[in-house]
Structure 1
Amino acid sequence: MGALVKTEQPDPAAPRDEAQYLTFVLGEEMFAMDILGIKEIIQYGHVTGVPMMPTFVRGVINLRGAVVPVVDLAARFGRPVAKVTRRSCIVILETRSEQGAQDVGVLVDAVSAVLTIPAAEIEPPPSFGGGIRADFIGGMAKVEGRFVIVLNVDRVLSVEEMALLSRGGDPGEAAS
């Protein structure tokens, strides 16, 4: 009988020479997120609104019996609420917080591709305004002559910060 070999999953926080990113479009801009936290991509379907939520929380969906909140990424960035088209998708991500793992859906205008981007091709985020909060940006990658904003998904989808905002609190309190 053969020996049981345990394969280790890569640590998402460990530095890597290159990583795979899902690229997607919001408005006219291209964004990317590391695929390690992505569980699946689904077509935009029926979203049930939840009263008293921030405008960037579209509502919840039933995903195989689990209640999953859906965040409108454009609205999360302080832009107008996204218009749903036939290319609109919900990217299901697993986020981690002090309370444990939580699935969150992210509404995007369109999914583009999965790209392998070398770490050397990702520059630090600019120190000046880029239309979204600086702590939401993990870096700037140059792909085919175009800049792609690499998101810091843990900050964008901070469950603690979104819960604080739904109660009318100051998001600066969640970062401390």
Structure 2
Amino acid sequence: MNVFEQKEISAAQSFLSFRLGKEIFAVEVSKVNEILEVPKITKIPKSPEYMTGVINLRGTVLPLVDTKIKFGMKPVEFTVDTCIVVLEIKVDDEKIQVGALVDSVLEVMEIDEAQLQPSPSMDAKYNLDFIEGMLELDNKFIMLLKIDMIFSINDIIDLKETHEGSSPKKNKSIKNPNNRGKK
């Protein structure tokens, strides 16, 4: 293999695509720890609107974010396809896990850098700092996200406080109506 071929291989990245309403987004696979079915969710009083609550992830408190609310959409409606994408976000030198509620997970895609189109330039009312680029696939655009950029410093403080200070056993739980018989 020559140097040129090696460079071509390293330019491709893996992304996990998911659906929020009619839109398709994707994040780098390296940022995804796992994908979960939606279990019982414990609400946190006085939390931000986008903070759905927390779940117990193998003894660890995992804060859940309604990704649709975070992106200015209507809240996630729970269906059999709704799931949690457990993401690892980096703030300064610290890594924090957060669960992102999405309408459905689609596929893992290998994307070559040459396929990426730059983020659109839009009016200042849209914050596009968190979009790495766009990919056109089958006449649809997929927005590739910079997941570390989606949360503001205040969001991170809220997530850290939720992660460190809440116990799912102490708060009132709500059950996802679509989890009939699921563990």
From 41, 60, 63, give the equivalent of 1:66.
Answer: 60
Q: Which runs of 5+ in 1 are unaligned?
A: 1-15, 167-176
Deviation at 1:156, TM superposition (A): 1.2
1:35 and 1:104 map into 2 onto residues whose CA distance is: 15
Cα separation, partners in 2 of 1:111 and 1:49, compared to 1, 3 Å = same
Task: Confirm whether residue 100 of structure 1 aligns to residue 94 of structure 2.
Answer: yes
**Secondary structure of the equivalent of 1:93?**
strand
Deviation at 1:163, TM superposition (A): 4.4
Cα separation, partners in 2 of 1:132 and 1:42, compared to 1, 3 Å = farther
From 36, 55, 63, give the equivalent of 2:30.
Answer: 36
Aligned to 1:161: 154
Aligned to 1:24: 18
Q: Identity across aligned pairs (percent)?
A: 35
Query: Which residue identity lines up with residue 154 of structure 2 in the other structure?
Result: E
Higher-RCO chain (CA-CA 8 Å, sequence separation at least 6) = 2
Contact 1:77 1:133 in 2 (8 A): no
1:106 and 1:157 map into 2 onto residues whose CA distance is: 12
Aligned to 1:110: 104
**Secondary structure of the equivalent of 1:155?**
helix
Cα separation, partners in 2 of 1:120 and 1:157, compared to 1, 3 Å = same
Contact 1:78 1:132 in 2 (8 A): no
Task: Please list the CA deviations of residues 37-60 of structure 1 after superposition, one character each: whole Å capped at 9, or x if unmatched.
Answer: 110000011111111211111011
Task: Confirm whether residue 91 of structure 1 aligns to residue 85 of structure 2.
Answer: yes
From 114, 125, 138, give the equivalent of 1:120.
Answer: 114
Q: Which runs of 5+ in 2 are unaligned?
A: 1-9, 160-183
Structural RMSD (CA): 2.1
Query: Which residue identity lines up with residue 63 of structure 2 in the other structure?
Result: P
2:38 and 2:101 map into 1 onto residues whose CA distance is: 8
Contact 1:40 1:93 in 2 (8 A): yes
Q: What is the TM-score with the length of structure 2 in the denominator?
A: 0.76
Deviation at 1:145, TM superposition (A): 2.8
**Secondary structure of the equivalent of 1:123?**
coil
Which 4+ stretches in 1 moved above 2 angstroms?
A: 163-166
